[in-house]
Amino acid sequence: MENTSKALLIAGGVLISIMVVSLLVIGYNSLTDYQRTKQNALSEEQLVAFNKQYEAYNRDLTGFEMVSLLNKIIDYNKLNTVSSDSNDWENNNTSKGYTEMYIKFTIKDSEIRKLFIDGTYDSANSTKKDKLDQIRSNMQSLEHTYGTTLMSKLSAMSDYNPETEEGKIEIIKKLGVNVLPKSLPEIEEVKKYQHYIEFKRANFKCTGTEYDKNTGRIIKLIYEQI
C-alpha cells in the first residue's frame, strides 16, 4: 500500500513537471511569436519610411533637384555599401544585405548633351558615375576664378565673343562690370557654364523605378528630359 502511494506521488510529480514544462514552452513560443510579429511590423514601417523618402522624387524634377537627389544617393551608398571595383553593381550588396542605389537620366537638348557622354548620366556605369561631380566641380572652379555674378551675366549673353581686345572692352561696358579685359573667361568656358545653367533649369520626368526583390527597398530611379 505504501509503495503504491509513493508511486502515485512520483507519477503526480512527473505529471506536474511535464505540465509546467509544457506551459513554459507554450509561453516561450507565444512570446517569440509576439516578438517576431512586432519585429516584422517594425521592419515594415522602416521599409515604408525608407522608400517614402525616395518615392517623393517619383515626379517631375529640375536639373537642380536631380543634383540634390544624386547627392542623397551618393551619401546613402557611402554609408551602406561595400566599396567595390566591380561593374556588377546589382551584386554589390551592403553588409546589411542592401543593394546599392543608382540614378539615371537622359538629356534631349542638343546643347546640354555636350556636357555628358552620349547625353546620358548613369551612376551604375563606371565611366559615367563621376561625370556630374566632375562637371559641377569644374563649374565651381569657374565661379571661384571669375565670380558667380560675372559667370551668370556672361552666360546670359548670346553674343559673347572675347576674341579681340576691343571685343572684351565692349563686353565689359555692356555688362557694367569692373574687371580687366584679361580677366574674362574663354568663350568655351562660358559656353560650358551656359550648358550647366540650362541643365539645372531643365525639367525631367521620372520614367521608372525598381525595387530590390529581397529587401523591397527602392534601388533605381530613371528620368528623361521633358
Domain edges within the chain: 1-56, 60-225
Residue 42: band (very low, low, confident or very high) from pLDDT cuts 50, 70, 90: very low
Q: At what angle do helices 148-155 and 187-201 cross, to 10 degrees?
A: 90
- Written as nine digits, the cell of 7 is 508511486
- Written as nine digits, the cell of 60 is 517631375
- pLDDT score of 23: 67
- pLDDT score of 152: 92
Q: What b-and-e string marks burial along 125-158, b requiring 16 or more CB atoms within 10 Å of the CB? A: eeebbebbeebeeebeebeeebeeebbebbbeee
The pTM of this model reads 0.68
CA-based nearest residue to 58, from 201, 203, 207 = 207
Q: How many CA atoms does the CB half-sphere of 100 hold within 13 Å?
A: 22
Q: How far is CA 190 from CA 131, 136, 142, in A?
A: 19, 14, 9
Q: How far is CA 107 from CA 76, 101, 122, 203, 204, in A?
A: 25, 21, 12, 10, 9
Q: Which residues contact 60 (CB under 8 A, 6 or more apart)?
A: 203, 204, 205, 206, 226
- Written as nine digits, the cell of 107 is 538629356
Residues, the chain? 226
List the alpha helices (DSSP H) in the chain: 2-55, 63-80, 131-146, 148-155, 165-175, 187-201
If you ran DSSP here, which 8-state letter would residue 144 be given?
A: H
**CA–CA distance, 162 with 169 (Å, rounded to integer):** 9
Residue 62: band (very low, low, confident or very high) from pLDDT cuts 50, 70, 90: very high
- The per-residue pLDDT for range 87-118, each reduced to its tens digit, is 444 444 444 558 889 999 999 999 999 999 89
Is residue 201 pLDDT above 60, yes or no?
Answer: yes
**CA–CA distance, 54 with 205 (Å, rounded to integer):** 14
- pLDDT score of 189: 93
Q: Which residues contact 65 (CB under 8 A, 6 or more apart)?
A: 57
- pLDDT score of 37: 56
